[in-house]
Structure 1
Amino acid sequence: MFYDLNIPWPTCTVTAAPPTKKAKKTNTQAAPTTIVPDLCGNPLDALSANDRQRLTELTYELSELGYATVAYNQTVYTKYDPSTHPNPFPLKSNVPFPKLDPRTRAQAGAPTSGASLTQLSRLTLVLDKDHAIKGGTGFVATNSIALQKYDLLAAQPQTEATFQHACTTLSELKPFSIDIISLDLAAAPRLPFYLKRSTVGAALANGAVFEIDYSAAVDPSCDQKNVSVLRRNIFSGARDILRVTNGKGVILSSGARNALGLRAPYDVMNLATLMGITPIAAKDTLSNTCKSLLVRARTRQTFRGAVSQPTLVRTPAPSDVRDATAMQGRKRRKQALF
């Protein structure tokens, strides 16, 4: 099973309501209106026709390429607030494409056989300035109920202070802890801060993983010169991450905004080997590491981060018990003779 845990969810443009006469007199502005998702409707209904068509093509292309799980990513650039940043998919039963998801395809009237694509939700908070730490990120206990409705939580630090805060504080296992630390590798030839083994090790010990987005390296919308620069930046940053992680706790995601930015799983593995990842570890970046991450993410919704994975043991048939007892009796008799 292969995973792509970063498919950007289109943002909805919301027009603020015109100020009232009372607001004009008091020189105050009316609060901007927000789109509250319909709990009974499809999340695609809140998107424009172009975004809906583009996301449909992208999702079905993922299914045809052989991916089994996808996470739609909602990015927040300010302090998280559930009232101003509503969840586009608050109910797990309301997935964008119910005929593809194995959990809902039966209710949607689709055949249960054939390719399926489990659809998850993800929230990424961009930490672009150091004052975001003092002012708060919004990942607090008062917002834990809203945050637990997301299957995955991520942070994208852009300074050394926010990176250390994400690795040591936000990654600690609690109802609002982050699961993924994503770095914008394509923005510059080098990261704006030095990756310390102690800081990265703290995040890995807490169960968080580091994400590498490869879509900028294969984006067909850019000219060849820009693609070469972006690819060089991504490879340089990826090797810096591999230097401190030794290839462990790293996942590769597309971050694609259209179907042309996607690649088949084995093509992504080849790209990972060019970054310096071993072939076995390259496969784990799309499979085993992602699977373990989802298990860890589910612990946020349990008491004190506890989760159990019961092992099913087959009960032996009565005939098997009789045969085993008879064999033990024969062994005892042989031992008694010698």
Structure 2
Amino acid sequence: MESVKGYFDYNVTDKCISNNFENIAKQLYDFGYHTIAINQTIDESLLEESISEGKKKKKIERQDIVPSPIDAKIIKGCDKLKILNRLTISFTTQDIINRIIKSPNYRKYHIIAAQPESQQAFQFTCTNFEADIFTFNPSTKPNYKMQRKLYYLLVERGVHFEIMYGPAIEDSTKRKNIIATAHMYHSFGKSRNIIISSGITNSFLIRNPYDVINLGLLFGLSDGQAKDAIQNNGRNVYMHGSTVLEFVCWKLY
């Protein structure tokens, strides 16, 4: 297994690709982030439209509903920067997941994140979905009820809970939702298995690791937990993602 080092940022949104990604990557690298992930999000409603179109054209079997990972070029001067691909799946029911995991493109992603949008999706994520990261939409409050038992079930399965600092800086409503969710993680799981990522859309939102650690205190983390959230836990996510990918490929074939 390849080694990953430095600070981690697993949520550089795909919007950054068209917004001078090279400069963003260099800035992250200069701050000490040596492992980053380009995040692409697929929404259940878009998948349903794709399936419907596939039926009309009678090409549903050959249609890949998961987009290809973005192929980022090697950044000059950032030789030690490792760029991964992350797929975030926003869903309300588990039905669509079965189609997604059979996608050839699905197996090309290094990191998989689950973004449940209902109680049913939340339960499925906790018990059956092989994800690496548990995330949420900062624009809205969670549409599910967190339980201590389910939180620790995810911890036992090696899943990490994501908190994003970029949207918290960008918008006051998102900031309230992020802080509320972060404190919910503290109440139900004592902030176990937390990662802090940027969720940035532009370079103005990037913060250095020491500022992120300070923000972690605002999110209810201890100093040690805040450091782990951008360092040790990031390494654990990568190791978990590599193991799960091998398992999924073996299961499908």
TM-score range, shorter chain: 0.7 to 0.9
Larger strand proportion, structure 1 or 2?
Answer: 2
Report the CA distance shift for 1:149/1:258 in structure 2 as closer, same or farther (over 3 A).
Answer: same
Larger helix proportion, structure 1 or 2?
Answer: 2
Aligned to 1:8: 13
SS of equivalent residue, structure 2 residue 213: helix
Instruction: State how far apart, in whole Å, the 1-side matches of 2:246 and 2:98 are.
Output: 22
Report the CA distance shift for 1:155/1:304 in structure 2 as closer, same or farther (over 3 A).
Answer: closer
Match of 1:147 among 96, 103, 106: 106
TM-score of the superposed pair, with normalisation by structure 1:
0.62
* Matching of residues 1-338 of structure 1 within 5 Å: 1-10=6-15, 51=18, 53-78=19-44, 79=47, 83-89=64-70, 95-99=72-76, 102=79, 116-127=80-91, 129=92, 132-140=93-101, 142-143=102-103, 145-170=104-129, 177-188=130-141, 191-219=142-170, 227-302=171-246
Please provide the CA RMSD for this pair.
2.5
Alpha-carbon shift at residue 231 of structure 1 (Å): 2.0
| Letter aligned with residue 260 of structure 1 | F
Contact 1:76 1:124 in 2 (8 A): yes
Instruction: State how far apart, in whole Å, the 2-side matches of 1:199 and 1:301 are.
Output: 23
Ranked by relative contact order (alpha carbons within 8 Å, sequence separation 6 or more), the top structure is 2
| Letter aligned with residue 123 of structure 2 | Q
Larger radius of gyration, structure 1 or 2? 1
After superposing on structure 2, the runs of 4+ consecutive aligned residues of structure 1 that deviate more than 6 Å are none
Aligned sequence identity (%): 27
TM-score of the superposed pair, with normalisation by structure 2:
0.81
Alpha-carbon shift at residue 147 of structure 1 (Å): 2.2
Instruction: State how far apart, in whole Å, the 2-side matches of 1:183 and 1:269 are.
Output: 20
Alpha-carbon shift at residue 166 of structure 1 (Å): 1.0
Contact 1:66 1:265 in 2 (8 A): yes
Instruction: State how far apart, in whole Å, the 1-side matches of 2:25 and 2:172 are.
Output: 27
The gaps in structure 1 that reach 5 residues or longer are 12-43, 45-50, 103-115, 171-176, 220-226, 307-338
Instruction: State how far apart, in whole Å, the 1-side matches of 2:94 and 2:154 are.
Output: 17
1:174-202 deviations in whole A, cap 9, x for unaligned?
xxx211110124424xx332210111121
